Structure 1
Amino acid sequence: MSSGVATQQKSIGWLPWTTLVLSVAGVAVAAYLTYEHYTAGTTLACPDTGVVNCLKVTSSQYSKLFGIPVALLGLLFFVGMTALSLPPLWRTASPWPSRLRLAAVVVGVVFVCYLIWAELFQIDAICLWCTVVHGLTIVLFGLVVIRQALPPLED
């Protein structure tokens, strides 16, 4: 292994673990939102008046896509990202984990843009918990794209 590749491996060694931690955090928040969706948001820990109104957002017509709760879609996304963010899948010689990771975060960030648009221009309310999910997705997108832009690691 050349010293340049060894330096690159050390310089991005934090990336797989960071994506894993962010993905697990996403699972937790999305699981909470999914639970709240199925319990009618009775214990939603968020203001329910004014611009910040989680109940208004999570019970709006935009809280489902083709009848599937958006929160559940988010949970499935983060479960998949957690699996794809396991460190061994960052080190595999197969190109498929990185391709799937990239495809997932692209779909995720496009969907987040749609949801932010819905909150700002259709619902006229913002959900703090949803904003956490949006932020986690955008950061995951950035990390995965940065890694994809780097040259492949050699053994």
Structure 2
Amino acid sequence: MSSTARLTTGRKPLGWISWATLVLSIAGVAVAAYLTYEHFTAGTTLACPDTGVVNCMKVTSSEYSKLFGIPVALLGLGFFVGMTALSVPPLWRTASPWPSRLRLAAVVVGVVFVCYLIWAELFQIDAICLWCTVVHGLTLVLFGLVVIRQALPPLED
């Protein structure tokens, strides 16, 4: 979009979204890696209360902490590693449609999975994990940014 078109329409290309998704994805890698570590060490150093409604140990050791035998923390780590790879700025500017399609598909799957996990926490486990909530929030913000950017016209170099 040229600067003249920007002045006429008042819309900016929102190029900052690629950097924001990269930063959020890296933060997600860090939190998911921590949760994965905690899963495999039986939560011995889990920095979260373990009583009442906020009970990370109850959530991370529940039957819902695995899907088909795979720890959901590990699935989250894979999701954020993939999102980090798809969020590097050159992949936002490529002429190929595949990175944007993969990014959109990934965040849609991520949000659906987050909805399932929130349902499990609230209605099955009766506890909330603060670290998991951070992952859920990061996924929802990533979803919003990717959808917003997808809805806008392509960026010009």
* TM-score class normalised by the smaller sequence: over 0.9
Counterpart residue number, 2:143: 141
Compute the TM-score of the two structures, normalised by the length of structure 1: 0.95
| Residue identity opposite 1:51 in structure 2 | V
Give the Å deviation of 1:151: 1.6
Structure 1 outlier segments of 4+, above 4 Å: 5-8
Cα separation, 1, equivalents of 2:6 and 2:71: 44
2:22 is aligned, of 13, 20, 32, to 20
Per-residue deviation, residues 62-108 of structure 1 (Å, max 9, x unmatched): 00000000000000000000000000000101000000000000000
Q: Any gaps of 5 or more consecutive residues in structure 1? A: none
Q: Is the 1:54–1:126 Cα contact (8 Å) retained in structure 2?
A: yes
Q: TM-score, normalised by structure 2?
A: 0.94
Q: When the two structures are aligned, how many residues end up with a matched partner? A: 154
Q: Which residue of 1 aligns with 2:69?
A: 67
Q: CA RMSD in A?
A: 1.5
CA distance in 2, matches of 1:2, 1:17: 21
Task: Give ranges in structure 2 of 5+ residues lacking alignment.
Answer: none
- The corresponding residue for 1:41 is 43
Distance 2:83 2:142 in 1: 9
Q: Is the 8 A contact 2:25 2:80 kept in 1?
A: yes
- The answer (yes or no) to whether the contact 2:13–2:155 under 8 Å persists in 1 is no
SS in structure 2 opposite 1:151?
coil
Structure 1 CA distance, aligned partners of 2:106 and 2:13?
A: 24
1:103-125 Cα distance to aligned partner (Å, 9 max, x none): 00000000000000000000000
Does residue 79 of structure 2 align to residue 77 of structure 1?
yes
1:5 to partner: Cα distance: 6.0
Identity of aligned residues (%): 89
